Amino acid sequence: MANAINPTLKLTVELSLVKTILNESLSDPLVAGDTIEYEVVVTNSGNVDIDNVAIDDPGPEFNGNVANNGPMVFSTADSTALNPTDTATFTGTYTLDATDVANFYTAASPTDAISNVADATGDAPSGTTLVTNTDSTATGVAP
């Protein structure tokens, strides 16, 4: 009788995300109180369940200077326990303050002087490492 082969499935723990700007209410010229609304769609791109998925976002940078009102807070109506291929959509709004506006206007190219990067986090099964992919967006106003 032949020996049975027991294949071992490699556990892949991975979240991917896509970050977009849903709406920007930017005055021209910018003023404190202007807002940028972001959407982050997180997908469990691995082959194991991931719980407590959340967004880690320090807030936008203005000409390379970290947001004065960060970190950003994101919310979702979706489940944050993702099975493989499941997605959750998060939204968050950033409100500019006077320091952000001043930093923005030191940029050589104000059309893309606001950038923002986010990561996704979550709890992986015991003994596995969670891998996240970063995504970013950029915006600004015409000089």
Q: What is the pTM of this model?
A: 0.85
What residues are paired with 123 via a beta bridge?
51
Structure tokens at 74: 């994101």
CB 41 within 8 A of CB 89: yes
Q: Give residue 35's pLDDT.
A: 93
Structure-derived torsion over alpha carbons of residues 99, 63, 131, 47, reported in degrees to the nearest 10: 90
Beta strand extents in 45-139 (DSSP E only) = 51-56, 61-62, 65-66, 87-95, 114-123, 131-132, 135-139
For residue 132, pLDDT over 80 is answered with no
pLDDT single digits (tens) 72-102: 999 999 999 999 999 999 999 999 999 999 9
Q: Which of 26-30, 69-73, 130-134, 137-141 has the highest mean pLDDT?
A: 69-73
For 76-91, letters b (16+ CB in 10 Å) and e give: beeeeebeeeebbebe
Burial of 130 (0-12, 13-18, 19+ CB in 10 A): middle
- For residues 90 and 109, give the distance between their C-alpha atoms in angstroms, rounded to a whole number: 29
Q: Give residue 33's pLDDT.
A: 95
pLDDT single digits (tens) 29-77: 889 999 999 999 999 999 999 999 999 999 998 888 888 888 999 999 9
- For residues 134 and 143, give the distance between their C-alpha atoms in angstroms, rounded to a whole number: 29
Q: Give residue 143's pLDDT.
A: 47
Query: For a pLDDT cut of 70, what percent of the chain falls above it?
Result: 87
For residue 16, pLDDT over 60 is answered with yes
For 97-122, letters b (16+ CB in 10 Å) and e give: eeebbebbeebeebeebbebbbbbeb
Q: Give residue 129's pLDDT.
A: 61
For residue 112, pLDDT over 50 is answered with yes
Q: Give residue 25's pLDDT.
A: 87
